[in-house]
Structure 1
Amino acid sequence: MHAPTSPTLQKPQGLSWFAIIRIGLVQASIGAMVMLTTTVLNRLMVVEYSLAAALPAGLVGWHYAVQLCRPLWGHGSDKGGGRAIWIMGGLGVLGAGALLAVKVTLMSAASPVPGLMLGVLAYTLIGIGVGASGTSALALLASGVAPERRAAAAAVTWIMMIAGIVVSAITVSQLIDPFSPQRLWWVASGLLAACFIIASIATFRLEPREAVDFAETAKDASPPDFKEAIAEIFAEKAARRFTLFIFASMMAFNMQDLILEPFAGLVFGMTPGESTGLGGMQSGGVLVGMIVAGIGGSAFKGRMPVELRHWIVFGCLGSAIALACLAVGAKVGVGWPIHANVFALGFCNGLFAVAAIGAMMGLAGSGERTREGVRMGVWGASQAIAFGLGGLVGSLGVDIGRKMMDDGSAFQFVFAAEGALFVVAAWLALRATQKGLTPRKAAAIAKTQSNQQPKYSNGAFA
């Protein structure tokens, strides 16, 4: 007699590369819509309509504040109805808010008070739309991408989002001249409609028919209610530490965003065109860093979050070193290799950003009962707060510093503080991604031990 053979256990396959690119198209559409409201309309309000710069800055800051509700929208997509519905619903709200923001811009000079009131509503809708669509898209990515593809998937979607911003910015800049209110309205409407159509095609039949469970545990139980979900997340040390890491790293990431070009002009005497080119040099470094982290992170075939943490720490510490060099350059002035320095900063920023998103996708599926949506929502809210606060703190730091000391010393102080924050972020990343059993892995082991022939999900999808 022959012993019975064990059934072949088939490894879940997850999202194909084509499906990952389709999610990248969604991210590109979100980025293009947001670019219109935070860049084009910002400039028009200040330059063409002579409004105080604080007004558009406050509206942009408000749209970040609204995104504190990301966990709610992520939890809603966890409860059912499909991620694609939340993605497209969020994009619809984002588009409506963006159109209203265009209307606000056109009426701001003639009717400033009603314009401000409508502006708050418009940017509330923008914040809701970005949060609902972006959180659900990342949750879909986190739940469907195989562990060995997470770094590359994060790189692909992030790079496509940046590409969407760049392509839409170039297109709008070409079509909007010579400027007129009517031309702005039609160009903005065309951009928003095109983005919505592209995202609709990208999400058509994108979701799996069956769930893929890379943690090898069945998702039989229904998701907990919102309060229970939040309580579970913050009861986990890894989740708490990762939330703090996201906040610290993204705040440091954004602190130099609003001060880099003024720094180039005040300390190095660059023209507006030259300082804009310096910003492009940083963006180029970010893209190269993302590509390197995406390829390098996917070269590891083990599971998250152990492997990508090395890329996160290297990127954070590299960013701290680059900022320390910028702090030295702030005192040296002309003659410092500023372009190479800024490219290195962008490169290290790109490394840690992609690796952090890959780690986020791994930890998003590690809850015992909570699903990917609410967990990605918590970290998305942390990122939104950090982005808004980082730009504000960096700008205020320079303004206060310039009143108390010379320009070089003021920028030196802010860059040094930013570098220190990156060191803290590296330490938090190590603590958040250290080896150990997550709640779902522990449940997986218990289930395997209680069943002689464990069954694996075969929900492969494209």
Structure 2
Amino acid sequence: MTPNSPQPLSWTGIVRLGLVQFALGAVVVLTTSTLNRVMVVELALPATLPGFLVGIHYAMQVFRPRLGHGSDLGGRRAPWIIGGMAVLAAGGVLAASATVLMATELLAGVALAIAAFVMIGIGVGAAGTSLLVLLAKRTSPERRSAAASITWIMTIAGFIVTTAAAGRALDPFSGPRLVAVSSVVSMIAMILTLAGVWNIESKTPAPGMRHARTRDASFGEGFREVWREPSTRRFAIFIFISMLAYSAQDLILEPFAGMVFGMTPGETTQLSGVQHTGALTGMLLVPAINMLMPAWRMRTTAWIIAGCLASALALTGLALAALVGPPWPLRLSVLMLGVTNGVYAIAAIGAMMKLVDSGHRNREGMRMGMWGAAQAISFGIGGFIGTLASDAARRALPSLSLSYSLVFAAEAGLFVLAACLAARIGRPSTGKHPAGPMPSPANQGA
């Protein structure tokens, strides 16, 4: 390292950036969990409506690769992170206001909600992508996996803290109270974001930062190069299928708990907190077992497969809960779903950090952006399909419980398919590169 070379992020810097992920999770969880429950249960609107709105939010995130590339143009990430969070926070408050407006002016409320969820999607894409680029470029290779785990865990922590606090604050429920809670959460999120990025770039500029214009012309070519890499393409397909299963229950869990188990808005919001607590537990479980119980240590791919299959079993339990009703220990089933999802997620992150350097060099941001786009598209489609399937089953079947049971069972089947795809992750390809010869050292970069 030369005297002029910038230093990589310290552990303190990584944790500070994790505050941004905490803030992202805090704002998003209210829009994807609480607001959709209010629309379906309190306002008696079709579940397809919040599914469509959240789908818009994810549709906007397909621009993640471009947004990350845009932050390269000026060589700084903090303005994109702060600006993205500001748009997200404003969109969160606007979405809550639109939900309240739907009670009296449905069309006006839906129109306002569409604008709000466009803002939410753009905000998440801008802030989240720039944050991942900053972590990828500023973190030393030996710390990348740990850095990704820390930021992901802090996202889940944001879910847990927000759902627990907001759940208590929302009861007794009212429209003004909903807007007030959303406004407070957004304000805290902005404060945490500013604290997380304050002076972090000036103290730890990214190693090997190139002037943006030197990479601008290579964006389209780089995207095609990365997609031709077998390991990158396989992992993108796996992310799409597994996240489809992961997200399909997201928008129907709270309405399901309200309709079948008779829970209040505050109780179902706290139920989401139980799920996220389980996810955090699952994320901590994998590294704990690997470090403390060497006899149980498994390869990353084995953990992914185990997490997918265990998630399928947990969703099967929810399918049974829908048939049995209130006597079933719903909180325990939701907790187990969170734990198994957490195991799958943390193992997938580990695989992602190992694969991010595979293939063409100097395309790490492009590769991460492609996987992020696959995740966003899958989340959007999954949430919408989950609510659409729920509405369709409720109309086609005589029993509300049976309709939810079939949807949960279908999600379990997707996780089984994802486990089969996971077996191919990291498998070396044979013969020539499927899209032509592998790149020479000259076009791989230094």
Tell me what 1:456 maps to. none
User: 2:87 is matched with which residue: 80, 83, 93?
Assistant: 93
Tell me what 1:4 maps to. none
Verify: 1:198 aligned to 2:189, yes or no: no
Q: What SS is found at the alignment partner of 2:424? A: helix
User: Which segment drifts farther, 164-173 or 270-279?
Assistant: 270-279
8 Å Cα contact 1:77-1:136 kept in structure 2: yes
Tell me what 1:127 maps to. 121
Deviations 1:261-314 (A, max 9, x none): 666688xx74426877765554332221111124456899xxxxx952232122
Distance change in 2, residues 1:142/1:433 (3 Å): farther
Distance change in 2, residues 1:62/1:277 (3 Å): closer
Verify: 1:63 aligned to 2:54, yes or no: no
Distance change in 2, residues 1:99/1:257 (3 Å): closer
How far the C-alpha of 1:256 sits from its partner, in A, is: 2.8
Verify: 1:211 aligned to 2:204, yes or no: no
User: 1:358 is matched with which residue: 342, 347, 350?
Assistant: 350
Tell me what 1:424 maps to. 417
8 Å Cα contact 1:29-1:164 kept in structure 2: yes
Tell me what 1:393 maps to. 385
The aligned amino acid for 1:433 is G
User: Which segment drifts farther, 412-421 or 346-355?
Assistant: 412-421
The aligned amino acid for 2:236 is T
Tell me what 1:153 maps to. 147
How far the C-alpha of 1:196 sits from its partner, in A, is: 1.2
Tell me what 1:77 maps to. 71
Distance change in 2, residues 1:152/1:65 (3 Å): same
8 Å Cα contact 1:107-1:115 kept in structure 2: yes
Q: What SS is found at the alignment partner of 1:75? A: helix
8 Å Cα contact 2:247-2:383 kept in structure 1: yes
User: 1:28 is matched with which residue: 19, 22, 37?
Assistant: 22
- Which runs of 5 or more residues in structure 1 are unaligned? 1-6, 214-218, 301-305, 449-462
Q: What SS is found at the alignment partner of 1:97? A: helix
Q: What SS is found at the alignment partner of 2:14? A: helix
How far the C-alpha of 1:59 sits from its partner, in A, is: 2.1
- Aligned residue pairs total 427
8 Å Cα contact 2:32-2:250 kept in structure 1: no
8 Å Cα contact 1:66-1:127 kept in structure 2: yes
Verify: 1:232 aligned to 2:225, yes or no: yes
How far the C-alpha of 1:26 sits from its partner, in A, is: 0.2
How far the C-alpha of 1:134 sits from its partner, in A, is: 0.8
> How far, CA to CA, are the matches of 1:188 and 1:318 in structure 2?
34
8 Å Cα contact 1:297-1:307 kept in structure 2: no
Verify: 1:164 aligned to 2:158, yes or no: yes
Percent identity, please.
Answer: 47
The aligned amino acid for 1:381 is A
How far the C-alpha of 1:87 sits from its partner, in A, is: 1.1
How far the C-alpha of 1:164 sits from its partner, in A, is: 1.9
User: 1:283 is matched with which residue: 246, 266, 276?
Assistant: 276
Q: What SS is found at the alignment partner of 2:125? A: helix
How far the C-alpha of 1:434 sits from its partner, in A, is: 2.7
> How far, CA to CA, are the matches of 1:327 and 1:103 in structure 2?
34
State TM-score, norm by structure 2: 0.78
> How far, CA to CA, are the matches of 1:28 and 1:315 in structure 2?
24
8 Å Cα contact 2:39-2:45 kept in structure 1: yes
Tell me what 1:311 maps to. 303
Tell me what 1:16 maps to. 10
Q: What SS is found at the alignment partner of 2:427? A: coil
Residue pairs, 1:336-415, within 5 angstroms: 341-401=333-393, 403-404=396-397, 410-411=403-404, 413-415=406-408
User: Which segment drifts farther, 316-325 or 249-258?
Assistant: 316-325
Deviations 1:400-431 (A, max 9, x none): 44535766665554444323322322232332
> How far, CA to CA, are the matches of 2:7 and 2:29 in structure 1?
35
Q: What SS is found at the alignment partner of 2:75? A: coil
User: 1:320 is matched with which residue: 312, 323, 326?
Assistant: 312
Tell me what 2:240 maps to. 247
Q: What SS is found at the alignment partner of 1:432? A: coil
> How far, CA to CA, are the matches of 1:52 and 1:418 in structure 2?
20
> How far, CA to CA, are the matches of 1:199 and 1:265 in structure 2?
34
Distance change in 2, residues 1:335/1:410 (3 Å): same
8 Å Cα contact 2:47-2:387 kept in structure 1: no
The aligned amino acid for 2:15 is I
8 Å Cα contact 1:62-1:124 kept in structure 2: yes
How far the C-alpha of 1:226 sits from its partner, in A, is: 2.8
Q: What SS is found at the alignment partner of 2:119? A: helix
State TM-score, norm by structure 1: 0.76
Tell me what 1:460 maps to. none
Tell me what 2:263 maps to. 272
Q: What SS is found at the alignment partner of 2:360? A: coil
8 Å Cα contact 1:294-1:355 kept in structure 2: no
User: Which segment drifts farther, 416-425 or 221-230?
Assistant: 221-230
Q: What SS is found at the alignment partner of 1:166? A: helix
How far the C-alpha of 1:357 sits from its partner, in A, is: 2.0
8 Å Cα contact 2:160-2:273 kept in structure 1: no
How far the C-alpha of 1:36 sits from its partner, in A, is: 3.8
Tell me what 2:250 maps to. 257
How far the C-alpha of 1:75 sits from its partner, in A, is: 1.9
How far the C-alpha of 1:126 sits from its partner, in A, is: 1.2
